[in-house]
Amino acid sequence: MTESTDRKTWLGLLARAPQGRIASLLSQVGPVPPATDLRRPEAGSVMVQGRAGGTGNAFNLGEMTVTRCSLQLPCGTVGHGYVQGRSKTDARAAAVVDALLQTDHADRVHATVTAPLAAEAAARQKSRAAKAAATRVEFFTLVRGED
């Protein structure tokens, strides 16, 4: 199995997925068992912290919007979804994916949902990094005359 089968990794991928993307990929998985809500999707905030000087004491930087959902599959497996932003559809889809990845459906769901999400995230990051690299300054030290 690949690294994105680790739960912490897949929950992070789901959280950062672009709006609407999880539900769209999940629809390609085929029929999924109906889940019961334990905590209906709710939008809220999380206070983001930074550190003074990058390494000092923590301080409060401001909040970000987060939507979460918890549900249970008929087999009893519980899934939790946390996504950035205010999409209740995405939060529920993330919770369904989290639950399915703990069941026999894991391989199929990984191949259809989390693997593409990981590839897309990597591609987005690579593109920005490549543009940043193109703006990297190459300094020339001017010759001062000696030797």
Partner 1 sequence: MYVAVKGGERAIDNAHAWLAEERRGDLAVPELTTAQIREQMTLAVNRVMAEGSLYDPDLAALAIKQARGDLIEAIFLIRAYRTTLPRFGSSLPVDTGAMACDRRISATFKDLPGGQVLGPTFDYTHRLLDFMLAADGDVPAAPEMPVDPAPVPHVMSFLNSEGLIAQETCDGTPAPDLTRAPLELPAARALRLQALTRGDEGFVLGMAYSTQRGYARNHAFVGELRIGTVPVEMEIPELGISIEIGEITLTECETVNQFTGSKTEPAQFTRGYGLVFGQTERKAISMALVDRALRWEELGEDDQGAPAQDAEFVLYHCDNIQATGFLEHIKLPHYVDFQSELELVRKLRRDATGQGAE
Partner 2 sequence: MDNAALQGGFIDPARDAARAFRAGMEAMARPGTIQTLNGCTAPAPMSVAAATLLSTLCDAETPLHLAGTCDTDGVRKWVRFHLGAPLVGRADAMFAVGDWDALAPLDAYAVGTPDYPDRSATLIVEVAALTNTGATLTGPGIAQTATLSLPDGLLAARVARYPLGIDFYFTCGDRIAALPRTTKGAR
Helix (H) or strand (E) holding 60: strand 58-72
40 contacts partner 1 (rule: CB under 8 A)? no
Comparison of 27 and 125: residue with beta carbon closer to partner 1: 125
Q: 1 or 55, CB closer to partner 1?
A: 55
Amino acid occupying residue 4: S
Strands 78-84 and 58-72 turn out to be: antiparallel
With CB under 8 A as the contact rule, the residue among 20, 33, 37, 42 that binds partner 1 is: 42
**Shortest gap between Cβ of 37 and partner 2 (angstroms)?**
9
Question: Is the CB of 21 or the CB of 88 nearer to partner 2?
Answer: 88
Task: Kindly determine how many residues on this chain lie close enough to bind partner 1 according to the rule CB under 8 A.
Answer: 54
Give me Rg for the CA atoms of the chain: 21
Q: Which pair of tokens denotes residue 20?
A: 């609407």
Residue 116, SS3 per DSSP: helix
Interface with partner 2 includes 78 (CB under 8 A)?
yes
Residue 38 beta carbon to partner 2: minimum distance, rounded to whole angstroms: 5
Phi and psi, residue 69, nearest 5°: -160, 145
Q: Which does 28 bind (CB under 5 to 8 A by kind): partner 1, partner 2, none?
A: none
d(CA 8, CA 32): 22
| Cβ proximity of 24 and 115 under 8 Å | no
The contact set with partner 1 (CB under 8 A) reads 7-8, 11-12, 15-16, 42-66, 68, 70, 80, 82-86, 125-137, 139, 141
